[in-house]
Amino acid sequence: MYCTDFIKAKGKRLMKKALTILTLFIGVYSYAQQDPYYTHFKDVMQAYNPAAAGHKYGEICLSGLTHHQWRDFDDQTAARGTNGVEGAGVQNVAPVTYNFNVGTVLNLSPSKDKFLGIGITIIDDKIGYTKSTSFMANINYKMDLQGGFSQISGGIGIGGTQWGWVKPKYKARDLLDPNVPVTGANEMKLDLNLGVMYKQKSMGPKLKDFYAGFSITNLNQAEYKVAVSTLAGTSSVLSRQYVPHYYTVVGADIPLNGVVLEPAIMAKYGLLQGSYKPQIDLNMTALFLGKLRGGLAFRQWGTSDALSILLGYEKGPLQVGYSYDITLSNVQQVSNGTHEILVKYCIPINFVPDTPLIIESVRFL
């Protein structure tokens, strides 16, 4: 992911200065990871592609996800040089993300080949003492092709993101550092996403339920400037500008005897520090007997970032998933891995069929 090299590249140099570990996080995070990442990326596509809102006609689907990254990384880890148990005055500064999605599909034509997908996405993302909360309304137009054999959709997400500085309670490296902020502040800005998707029921005898999507987030490149007060009694301005992130996701199902393989790949690009830096996620899970899921995933950003173990259960409208990321980069020196939990539930909707219009006529008396 986009913070993989922060310890190797900047850790030794910053530790020699009388600065808090928070300064390191802000400096790197503002120009690196901006959008949160998800190991279950194929299950929450609506979060980064508005064209994915709405699973299928006749259902309302809700999903919730919690992502706890780099467990046991705190604001004194770099000072100790090792992992440690949190104690008095020691605060967890590792990224924590919460994601919630709800979506459905509305019919737009009597022939039931044109649909409107709608959904709402809420993301709460905290890292160090910065926090962003996003609310996005997603809407897309879906059109069935070849009698429903395939479908194309295009959509837009319109919402707002509040970014700011949470009132700090960290244990400063230099207790009387005059640059340490003592107040919190935030700012709300418009946020825009754009996306397209293509689905096909089969591609040859082995590939089923193929899908491919492309999307752009942070389309309007919102810029934030938040003023906070420091221990010295002066005002300091914290700034951050979001940059567009480009997502490409491709996946399909491969049915075997009692097992369905579910390969998926996501490539994410962000214009960071003047150049495009790709992040690649490879995901291979298998659904056994239509209920139990297991698999592996691999994430790369510059160097190997994480190897993930995925487990899950699925029955009817309910899906539950868990993943554990084993950190492979230099961050492993201060990380006990990443945990992610997904819960998804789809509620059937019984639409009342249209009542046929009967016009009496003397011809049939």
CATH of the domain at 28: 2.40.160.40
In a domain, 359, yes or no: no
Q: How far is CA 166 from its chain centroid?
A: 21
Task: Provide the domain limits for residue 153.
Answer: 6-350
Is 1 within a domain? no
Domains in the chain, number:
1
Judge whether 356 lies within some domain. no
Residue position matching structure tokens 């503002």: 30
pLDDT at 235: 83
336: left (phi over 0), alpha (psi -120 to 50) or beta: alpha
Residue 135 lies in a domain: yes
Any domain includes 339:
yes
**For each of the chain's 365 residues, which pLDDT tens digit applies?**
444 343 344 433 433 332 333 333 333 343 446 899 899 999 999 999 999 999 888 899 999 999 998 877 766 665 555 544 445 556 667 889 999 999 999 999 998 899 999 999 999 999 888 899 999 999 999 999 998 899 999 999 999 999 998 876 666 667 677 777 788 899 999 999 999 999 999 988 889 999 999 999 999 999 999 998 887 778 888 888 999 999 999 999 999 988 999 999 999 988 766 666 788 999 999 999 999 999 999 998 767 788 999 999 999 999 999 999 998 877 767 677 899 999 999 999 875 555 555 545 444 43
Whole-number pLDDT of residue 127: 84
DSSP tag of 8: I
Tell me whether residue 365 is in a domain: no
* Residue 104 covered by a domain: yes
Whether 280 maps to a domain, the answer reads yes
CA distance 265 to 314: 21
Of the candidates 266, 262, 232, 229, the residue with the CA atom closest to the CA atom of residue 247? 266
Q: How far apart are CA 69 and CA 78, in angstroms?
A: 17
CB-neighbour burial class of residue 99 (10 A; exposed 0-12, middle 13-18, buried 19+): buried
